Structures are given as structure tokens and as C-alpha cells.
């Protein structure tokens, strides 16, 4: 049975003994379906910076779409290449992840918790997956400062998936579709102006 919180699950799996190593596969297996949420939150962190090095936002956008399509296909947990799954975390890396990563997710859990579980329907999760794909596409655009809001939306959605928080899922969807609406009407007005 999974721990009630992700931070507790990570604390447990990362508490390795001296001389032991843990693989990425073991880590992902322990957090199971929460892996999607964790990957989305971790990927969103660097893209919250308004200006990124060239190509960084597009790369992360590509990973967003990769994760989103897996969710859209109904996978329960993320698929990763075997080479990545077999990678072993050193004892030192596991310790740092335990000290910093667990602390980060504990802070996140102060604001988010399991609630509004009626939002956890197959249709809603497909909508979340489609939204993540669209946010990934936005990161491919050359528009300046267009990575911060999609990253924030994906972080909120990832947090909702992590903690089974339906309220966060709703907030993330509203923010995402507000951004999409802004882009749509902005482009429509621009094209209309150019046409005239």
C-alpha cells in the first residue's frame, strides 16, 4: 500500500543503507501513478524562469507532450527507456534527493492535499493530458516570455495529480484554457489587423 503522501513515500524508498544503491526503476515503481505528477512538477521548475537558454523551453515542451500522450493513452505510470530505468542513484545522490526533494514536496503538501476526488474521472484525466500536450506545444513557439504561464499551469496540474487534489486540477485547467483563449483571440486580432 502506498504512503498517504508522496514525501513519505520518497522518504521511505530513499532511506537506503550504507553501500546500497537504488535504481530509477525502483523509485518510479514505489511512487507508481504519482510519477506523472512528480515529473511534471520537476520539469516545470526550470521553465518558470521568464527567459531560458535557447532550445531549453522547446526540449521541455517536447517532454511535456511525451508525458501527455502517455496519459492520454491511459497509462497508469510513466514509461521511461530501459536505460534510464536501470540507472543507479549513488548513495550520495539518494541522500541529497532525500534531504532536498522530500523537503520540497513536504512544503508543497502544505497547500495541496487529497480533496475533490470526484474530479478523478477518466474523462477529466484525459482532459488534463490533452491540456499538458497543448502547454507543451506552446513552449515550441518563438514568442518571448511564453514559457512562464504554461509552466505554472503544468506545475499546478502536476501537483493536483501528485496529491489527488481536484481543486488544483481545476485551477490548472482554468489557467491553461485562459492562456489558450488569450493566444487565440490575440492571434485573431493580429491577423484581422494585417488583413485590413
DSSP class per residue in 28-54 = HHHHTTHHHHHHHHHHHHHHTSSS--T
What are the tens digits of pLDDT across the range 26-35?
767 666 666 7
Please tell me the predicted confidence (pLDDT) of residue 48. Answer: 64
Report whether pLDDT(2) > 50. no
Q: What percent of the chain has pLDDT over 90?
A: 8
Give the pLDDT confidence of 106-162 residue by residue, as tens digits.
777 788 888 888 887 888 889 999 999 998 888 877 665 667 788 888 888 988 888
Contact of 56 with 46, CB cutoff 8 Å: yes
With beta carbons less than 8 A apart as the criterion, state whether 132 and 64 touch.
yes
For residues 171-181, average pLDDT: 88
Q: Mean pLDDT across the chain, nearest whole number?
A: 76
Percent of the chain scoring above 70 in pLDDT: 65
| pLDDT reported for residue 55 | 66
3-class DSSP state of 102: helix
pLDDT at 3 over 50: no
What are the structural domain ranges in the chain?
6-195
Rg for the chain (alpha carbons), in Å? 18
Amino acid at each position: 500500500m502506498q504512503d498517504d503522501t508522496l514525501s513519505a513515500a520518497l522518504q521511505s524508498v530513499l532511506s537506503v543503507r550504507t553501500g546500497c544503491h537504488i535504481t530509477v526503476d525502483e523509485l518510479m515503481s514505489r511512487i507508481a501513478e504519482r510519477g506523472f505528477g512528480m515529473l511534471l512538477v520537476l520539469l516545470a521548475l526550470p521553465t518558470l524562469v521568464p527567459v531560458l537558454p535557447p532550445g531549453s523551453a522547446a526540449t521541455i515542451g517536447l517532454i511535456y507532450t511525451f508525458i501527455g500522450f502517455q496519459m492520454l493513452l491511459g497509462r497508469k505510470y510513466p514509461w521511461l527507456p530501459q536505460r534510464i530505468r536501470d540507472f543507479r542513484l549513488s548513495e550520495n545522490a539518494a541522500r541529497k534527493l532525500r534531504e532536498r526533494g522530500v523537503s520540497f514536496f513536504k512544503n508543497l503538501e502544505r497547500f495541496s492535499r487529497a480533496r475533490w476526488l470526484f474530479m478523478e474521472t477518466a474523462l477529466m484525466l484525459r482532459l488534463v493530458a490533452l491540456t499538458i500536450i497543448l502547454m507543451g506545444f506552446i513552449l515550441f513557439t518563438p514568442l518571448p516570455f511564453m514559457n512562464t504561464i504554461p509552466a505554472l499551469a503544468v506545475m499546478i496540474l502536476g501537483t493536483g495529480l501528485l496529491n489527488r487534489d481536484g481543486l488544483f486540477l481545476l485551477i490548472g485547467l482554468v489557467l491553461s484554457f485562459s492562456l489558450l483563449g488569450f493566444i487565440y483571440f490575440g492571434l485573431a486580432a493580429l491577423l484581422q489587423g494585417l488583413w485590413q
